[in-house]
Amino acid sequence: MSEQIDYKMHFGNKNFDSAFDQTFAEWSSELEMKSVFWAGEKRTKIHRQTINQTQKNLFLRSLKYFVIPFAVSIALLFVNKTWAEYFILMLNCSALLAGIAITFFDFKTIKSTYNFYNQKRISYLQKGVGMMTTSIFVILAFLLTIYENLFERLYVGFSEMLSFNISFEGFFAFLMLFGYFLLAINGFLYYLEYRKTIKVLQQKTNLKL
């Protein structure tokens, strides 16, 4: 903003008051505070745009990591049912183990993301990390209880889809087996970005979790 004022003064032949008023008018729409329901607070347009762009970038990065194992899973469903079952099991187990390892070795950071609305708000990335913890709990639950049933529904639903029949049970199994895996990847990326933010704040402001 100060650069724009200087530019208008030097190249627009304006005095400070005129340059300031014009710059302020240009920025007023960007700095207008509006309520964000899901965040429980007011944010400027710049803030909202920055968050939306970050979320979009993280999701696209998640898809890049997701697409190859997903494609392999689909290919194995064509080739061999048993291989597909164990490969999808391996994917979810890897996400589960990674989440458990991060939680165990960096519990202080993970703990700072709990109860976002009542705890210190360090970064909007806090809520994103919650996707990781949520996904690993769900993955743990279905791996211990209904994985074989879910995979069977997925396999039957996949076979029916090839005959142009859509199965709700197959779609549900698909969401459980692949949706939470994707959610875990997205949560891991949020965690990495959140960890970077914490390190910067600890260096500059002596932040304590």
The pLDDT value recorded for residue 61 is 95
pLDDT tens-digit series, residues 121-167:
667 777 777 888 889 999 999 999 999 999 999 999 888 887 777 78
Q: Do the domain assignments include residue 44?
A: no
Q: Do the domain assignments include residue 45?
A: no
Q: Whose structure tokens read 């990495």?
A: 192
For residues 10-15, average pLDDT: 58
pLDDT tens-digit series, residues 32-82:
666 655 555 666 677 777 778 888 999 999 999 999 999 999 999 999 999
pTM of the model: 0.77
- Domain around 176: 61-205
The pLDDT value recorded for residue 88 is 96
Q: How many structural domains is the chain composed of?
A: 1
Q: Do the domain assignments include residue 15?
A: no
Q: Do the domain assignments include residue 14?
A: no
Q: Do the domain assignments include residue 20?
A: no
Q: Do the domain assignments include residue 196?
A: yes
The pLDDT value recorded for residue 71 is 96
Q: Do the domain assignments include residue 36?
A: no
Mean pLDDT for the chain? Answer: 80
Q: Do the domain assignments include residue 10?
A: no
Instruction: With CA atoms as reference, report the closest residue to 95 among 1, 191, 9, 31.
Output: 191
